Amino acid sequence: MAAPIAKKTILIVEDEPHIVMGLKDSLEFEGFRVVTASKGKEGIALARSESPDAVVLDLMLPDINGYNVCEEIRRWNSFVPIIMLTARSQETDKIRGLDAGADDYLTKPFSVNELIARMRAIFRRAQRGSTAPEAFDVGDAKINFAAHTALVRGEEHQLSFYEVELMRLLVERIGQPVSRDEILSKIWGLESLPTNRTVDNFIVKLRKKIEKSPDKPAHILTVYGFGYKLVP
Ligand code: CA
């Protein structure tokens, strides 16, 4: 049995009772506090009132779809990790979910253990701490890890949970290549998959916020066939 996790609240927004029940039982067994909503609007309300530490959000809901729920939550909370459940495996749906503000997705049917692995990864780094400083300058950007912000040429950008963690890992290993597999396993809690574009999507998001020319990055560099490297 793994070490206990400090009581974190996870909000599940899903209308299929057997999935909700399975997830709730398993996550509670892992030591999480679980709140559930079977409709999108109820999920949005609970995301406000319960201040969850993570959200598991189904795409297909009876009232409004998961993309809209995600966008609504992101309106006032840019940081809470949101993992989307999707019955579709098309790349466009995943991209749309990531664009709506989701951090990750699982395609149904998924194993509960896979979801738990991701939840543990989300909270593991927070527990173990980081050697990265509280604030760090990358080019024209001032990254504030505690405030989850990047101040770039006078403009403040909010950073999401995974953007902060990804940046923190690159800062910890400044000037060294960090492999995509290591990023996936350390931050997302994923086994490496050749088709997984999650890391690349988040690199694109970070570059848009931090780089002067996101298409010709000067700081968050691609190490071809391997991963990424930060040059401040
Ligand atoms: Ca559903």
Q: What is the pLDDT of residues 148-169, one digit of tens each?
A: 999 999 999 999 988 999 999 9
Distance (angstroms) between ligand 1 centre and the Cα of 59 equals 6
Distance (angstroms) between ligand 1 centre and the Cα of 57 equals 9
Does this chain's domain 9-128 share its CATH topology with 135-230? no
Cβ–Cβ contacts within 10 Å for residue 127, how many? 10
Distance (angstroms) between ligand 1 centre and the Cα of 117 equals 22
Q: Give kind and range of the element (H or E) at residue 21.
A: helix 17-29
Distance (angstroms) between ligand 1 centre and the Cα of 164 equals 30
pLDDT in tens, 33-63: 999 999 999 999 999 999 999 999 999 999 9
Residue ranges of the domains in the chain? 9-128, 135-230
Distance (angstroms) between ligand 1 centre and the Cα of 16 equals 6
Cα–Cα distance for residue pair 118/123, rounded to 1 Å:
9
CATH code that applies to domain 135-230: 1.10.10.10
Q: Is domain 9-128 given the CATH code 3.40.190.10 in the classification?
A: no
What global pTM score does this model have? 0.83
Q: Are 59 and 88 in contact (CB under 8 A)?
A: yes
Distance (angstroms) between ligand 1 centre and the Cα of 65 equals 9
Helix ranges (H only) for the chain are 17-29, 40-49, 66-76, 91-99, 112-128, 161-172, 180-183, 198-210
